[in-house]
Amino acid sequence: METRVFPRRPAIVVALAVCATLAVVAVLGTVDPWTPKIGLFTGGADLHVYRDGGWRVLHGLPLYSGPVALGLLYTYTPFSAIVFVPLERIPGAYVDNLWMAFNLGVLAGCILLCWRILGYRITPHLLLVTALTTVTCTFVEPVRTTLFYGQVNLVLMLWVLWDFSRPERSVLRGVGIGLGAAVKLTPGFFVVQLLALRQWRAAAAATSIFAGTVAFAWVIVPDDSRRYWTSTFFDSTRITDDAHPSNQSLRGTLTRLTDGQAPPWLWLILAGAVAVVGLVVSVRLYERGERLLSVVLGGLTAAVVSPFSWSHHWVWLVPLMVYLMHRAVSDTGRWWFAFAALFASTAAWPYWWSPDFAVVGLFLFPPSWPVAFGLQNIYVLVYVPVLVSAIRMVTRRTRHRPILTLVVTYPPAPEPSEMSLRSA
């Protein structure tokens, strides 16, 4: 892959600086960061569930027999609790702020890996662009929610992007995906993507790492491992009702569309079809040199076909925004409109029901609004034009000037020569 140099255009830096400033104002101003149960600095629920999982491993207590921290259930793998043991050793007075700072660093790392996958040389100028983009993305709802809950999704995305940034024949390619799936099962979708790409070595590495972590956890916490893989793994009621607006997946959309009457086989057929189409298109994108868009489509497809996808699972929108920036600076400026449309539709817009009760994210806005169904399924609706546009890209005879349609539709180019609610 040829090495690119990010253009040194003052207008881009100024625009990103303005966006970063507005994002900080929006993150800290639309909802007071100290507002109980919703302010950015009053969250950390999932982080404390992680810590309690580590504490239970250290003290030989069960993970899945009942509620853990804050009365919540532990829904992650037994191996994840072992991984979270170091978090338990950090004093509670410091862990929230340290984990948030760590997550911001991970977000910047994800953006840098995106530039690397796109073939850009890492320069001081690109580091500045990355820093401004990182701050801007804090007002993207999946990122804001990840920071609020102290979630681990950005770390999992970093591991996957690290794998795809490595040479195809690297012996380490696949390790990040295997570790990600060992902590939270959703990155396992990328093992299937590696198989679809015929990257057998990487798929074998990911599978071996995952199997090794399962065996390791079985040795360390045998009772929890037995219970998880024979019972808890199959118990979807441990999350919440599929119809809940926080379930931003195809299954959630079907459940809301049919008032809970959609038969399971219908979801299986539709999810299977979407998964197959998404995989085929991602392979074609990869073959055409669109490697970042290929992995982004894989991440978004995994969120769509998952039985339950919380909004913070959609952190893959960040690499999509980086891809749109790349197209904007290397193709035409109209890509900035696609970037703006994507950002506007997935930002952390709050809605205040009362002076002390608010929600964050369009999917949690009042169900009585005329556009409520569209808002309640906003991420699935965003996925549709992304997939359609990707299909257009791979079915054209040339790979130049593809148009990614997001919320706003442009004329085709000429043919060239939670109150954020509790999350799992």
Q: Is residue 406 part of a domain?
A: no
Q: Which residues pair with 360 in a beta bridge?
A: 350
Q: Is residue 421 part of a domain?
A: no
**114-130 as b/e: b if 16+ CB within 10 A:** bbbbbebeeeebbeebb
CA distances (Å), origin 307, targets 346, 374, 385, 422 = 21, 19, 21, 17
pLDDT (0 to 100) of residue 237: 63
Q: What is the DSSP string of 330-386?
A: HT-TTHHHHHHHHHHHHB--EEEEETTEEEESGGGS-TTSTTHHHHHTHHHHHHHHH
pLDDT (0 to 100) of residue 236: 64
| Contacts (Cβ under 8 Å, ≥6 apart) of 63 | 53, 56, 57, 74, 78, 81, 221, 224, 227, 228
Q: Is residue 412 part of a domain?
A: no
pLDDT (0 to 100) of residue 164: 97
Q: Is residue 116 part of a domain?
A: yes
pLDDT (0 to 100) of residue 404: 45
pLDDT (0 to 100) of residue 1: 55
Q: Is residue 405 part of a domain?
A: no
The H or E element containing residue 290 is none
The total of structural domains in the chain comes to 1
The pTM of the full predicted model, rounded to 2 decimals, is: 0.91
Q: Is residue 424 part of a domain?
A: no
pLDDT (0 to 100) of residue 406: 45
Q: Write out the residue range of the structural domain in which residue 136 sits.
A: 10-395
Q: Is residue 226 part of a domain?
A: yes
Q: How far is it, in rounded angstroms, from Cα 153 to Cα 180?
A: 9
CA distances (Å), origin 182, targets 32, 170, 177 = 36, 21, 8
Q: Is residue 168 part of a domain?
A: yes
pLDDT tens, residue order, the chain (424 aa): 568 899 898 989 999 999 999 999 999 999 999 999 999 999 999 999 999 999 999 999 999 998 999 899 999 999 999 999 999 999 988 999 999 999 999 999 999 999 999 999 999 999 999 999 999 999 999 999 999 999 999 999 999 999 999 999 999 999 999 999 999 999 999 999 999 999 999 999 999 999 999 999 999 999 999 999 998 887 766 677 888 999 999 999 999 999 888 888 999 999 999 999 999 999 999 999 999 999 999 999 999 999 999 999 999 999 999 999 999 998 877 888 999 999 999 999 999 999 889 999 999 999 989 899 999 999 999 999 999 999 999 998 654 444 444 444 334 444 443 434 444 4
pLDDT (0 to 100) of residue 232: 84
Q: Which amino acid is at 155?
A: V
